[in-house]
Amino acid sequence: MRRLSVVTPQSEEFKLFSVKLSVLTFTYIIFYMSIIALGAVFFHDCPASPYIPLYLIVQGSIGIISRATKPLQYLSMVGKYTCIVWTIIVIVRLIELIVFGFGSMWVYKAYPPNYLDKNNPEYCHKGLYLFTFCYISVAFICLFLFLVLICCSVCVSILYDFPMTESSLYRFLWYN
């Protein structure tokens, strides 16, 4: 049976992991900055639901903060500031979830908007609305698939009498 090795900041594994994490974090930050820009550019172009551009700006900002706290998780893995780090992470993720819930409500409530007549109170810029609609819909699909994956893995572990220990669950959730 393979033993878990302690990952230290000096190990080669940690350095490679840090590079991958930095590239991924940078990619996410660029994506969330583009969401902020989209919300800012079309801020007054959605009278059907004026909170949609605001949602994009707030979601992008919270997304940047959320991804910027990702390296803190690995700081807590080496045993430093564990309680403080996890408190910050939980608060940021909770705020992100609340903002996502409100955004979903605003987007699906305005469905379908008018894309043609700018003077119509049901008007919303087509690119702004469709991007936000697709972003939220894809997030819900991913959440559904994740829940199906968790349910399947629990069923398989029960069927094959595979012990679902805390460490195996931790490795599954944080290293995949």
- Reference 17, options 65, 63, 88, 77; nearest CA is 77
Question: Which of 15-24, 110-119, 127-136 ranks highest by mean pLDDT?
Answer: 127-136
Of the ranges 40-49, 53-62, 80-89, 154-163, which one carries the lowest mean pLDDT score? 154-163
Question: What percentage of the chain exceeds 90 in pLDDT?
Answer: 40
What average pLDDT is seen over the chain? 82
Measure the CA–CA gap between 107 and 92, rounded to whole angstroms.
22
Looking at residue 176, its pLDDT comes to 47
SS (H, E, C) the chain: CCCCCCCCCCCHHHHHHHHHHHHHHHHHHHHHHHHHHHHHHCCCCCCCCCHHHHHHHHHHHHHHHHHHCHHHHHHHHCCCCHHHHHHHHHHHHHHHHHHHHHHHHHHHHCCCCECCCCCCCCECCHHHHHHHHHHHHHHHHHHHHHHHHHHHHHHHHHHCCCCCCHHHHHHHHHHC
Measure the CA–CA gap between 40 and 36, rounded to whole angstroms.
6
Instruction: Give domain limits for the chain.
Output: 12-136
Which residue did the predictor score with more confidence, 62 or 67?
62
Taking only the tens place, the pLDDT of each residue in 67-120 is 877 777 766 666 666 777 788 888 988 999 999 999 999 999 988 888 888 888
